[in-house]
Amino acid sequence: MRTELTLSNEDLNHQIGVLQQLLGAARIPGELTAYRSEIEAVCEELRRQVRRNLKDLSYDHPDTFENVLRQTQRVMTELEVINAHYAGCLLRSRSDDRLALIVLRWLHDEHPKTARRAFALSDGQFAIYPDLRYPSLFFLPCSRRRTLLYLPLLFHEFGHLLYAVHRPEMDDLVHDFQEVVANVFAPTTRRQGPSAVQQDTFQAQLVLAFYSWCQEFFCDAVGLRIGGPAFLRSFVNYFRLQGAHAFYVPRDRLIQREHPVGWLRVRSLIHRAKGMGFDGVADQLDREWHETANLLHVAEDYVGTWSDELFAPLQRMLDDMLVEAAARVITEEEASATDFARTKSLVGMLNASWVCFEQDSTLYAKKELTAISSTERGCAA
């Protein structure tokens, strides 16, 4: 066994060394410097563990082999995580990433609990890995990387990071809401036999599902709080083009999903947008959502997973979560921005982008490119 473990650790030592060389040689924008340093630090810690393993094996004490095996497996697992998720974004870094990285840098700097956190950007659908053991890794579709209209969806992903850094307080609020769900869906009469088991199983599954669903509602609320009308426009337009499954999901599939059905998320956002004074855009997007549903021949149906008794408690929970998270609030000037040239803030630019696009989509691309170039130059100065 000593021979096999020695060979495995020598291989891991070589693999980590190759990765460290690749990371050191990668040409990256300044926004990724801290991220590279943290990933390199993880690699160096793994390499130190490999060297400890080799030293322990050199003594040839069989009673240490089990521990060395476990440590070797841990290094292997962590190296696979770094290779699969966290290193590639540095090795594939492109100049086109700059705009999104500027937005992410601004987002992190605006909150005291995230200002010192490193982050990076990778390819994929809008998402984030908010694992606090590693730097934050955001995902963004390639075609959205150097355009403005859907960048506000990054605000939702940032909400997941805020949840992670406030997890104990957030989990307490979600657990309180889960109790409300359990009470609302408690059977009014007790059945017997298999029906009772099915009833109890469904209630337990629904309460459990709301743990992740509440996080999505919260991240939507964070996105709206930061981005205002721009986030609402991005969100509704993005989801209404996802197909019928954004409007309706069969119960057996919905109960297993980490995301609540899109229709319910839109309802919550429309309600909150009106509470923030964005009635005009909220009404417009609500109308467009229903018109799309009509064309898809889909009716509003939550297949027994929702009761309107939950709406007010849900909004109160989200209000409390936003207080705990203390995310930046959009200003009135940013929310009403209509002209790239007259706004200096990133949020104002994102709101102006939708106004310009809807006013004249044929001229929009040229205006957008000018605004992006100006932003990148300003951040480089």
- Say if residues 225 and 330 touch (Cβ distance below 8 Å): yes
pLDDT of 309: 97
pLDDT of 54: 93
Phi-psi region of 303 (alpha: psi -120 to 50; beta: other; left: phi over 0): left
pLDDT of 381: 43
pLDDT tens per residue across span 219-242: 999 999 999 999 999 999 999 999
pLDDT of 189: 60
Total length of the chain: 381
For 124, phi then psi, to 5°, come to 145, 180
Task: Measure CA of the first residue to CA of the last residue in the chain; give whole Å.
Answer: 58
Under 8 Å CB-to-CB from 207, ≥6 apart: which residues?
A: 178, 181, 182, 185
Residues (pLDDT < 50) of the chain are 381
